[in-house]
Amino acid sequence: MPDFPLMTFTVYRWEFEDKRRFQVLDAEATEAFRERELELWEQAWSYPQACAWSMEPWRWNTIAMWVRTTVVCESSEATAADKGSIHRFADQIGMTPAGLKENGWAIARNEVGDKAAEKAAEQREPAEGDEVGQRRQKRLR
């Protein structure tokens, strides 16, 4: 997983003094925003699309903008434009069925992983008539 490529998003809050309104840096909110971005960035790179993204570094800024816009949309400050742009970014990076089609991608089912998980589950299940201390009998297929 590559490092998150965007600069830190700075969060400001409004304050009032002597009937004047001004913005001040909100360091705590800025840090929380960045932590959420990094969390979502890591999550995004666990998706099947990451295989294609890893071969196309020119997409990484678009993926990062999808992450940032998603975090913005989780806040009460999100505008209709923010919420609309998240869908466009998702399409561009293949996070929607339309985006997968647009990119010419298909997500294949991991049949090998499914079989391994099924086999592991079978080995954990006690055979019929098993009692504690007795050797388990393997099922034959």
User: Could you read off the pLDDT tens digit of each residue along the chain, which spans 141 residues?
Assistant: 999 999 999 999 999 999 899 999 999 999 999 999 999 999 999 999 999 999 999 999 999 999 999 999 999 989 999 999 999 999 999 999 999 999 999 988 877 877 888 888 888 876 565 555 455 555 555
Query: What confidence score (pLDDT) does residue 4 get?
Result: 97
Contacts of 66 (CB under 8 A, 6+ apart): 44, 86, 89, 90, 92, 93, 95
Q: Report the SS3 class of residue 29.
A: helix
The length of the chain, given as a count of residues: 141
Query: What confidence score (pLDDT) does residue 123 get?
Result: 83
Residue 105: count of CB within 10 angstroms of its CB: 13
Q: Give the separation between CA 28 and CA 18, rounded to whole angstroms.
A: 25
Q: What is the DSSP letter of 40?
A: H
Task: Indicate the residue type of 87.
Answer: H
Q: Give the separation between CA 80 and CA 47, rounded to whole angstroms.
A: 27
Contacts of 91 (CB under 8 A, 6+ apart): 98, 99, 102
- Residue 114: CA count within 13 A, CB half-sphere: 4
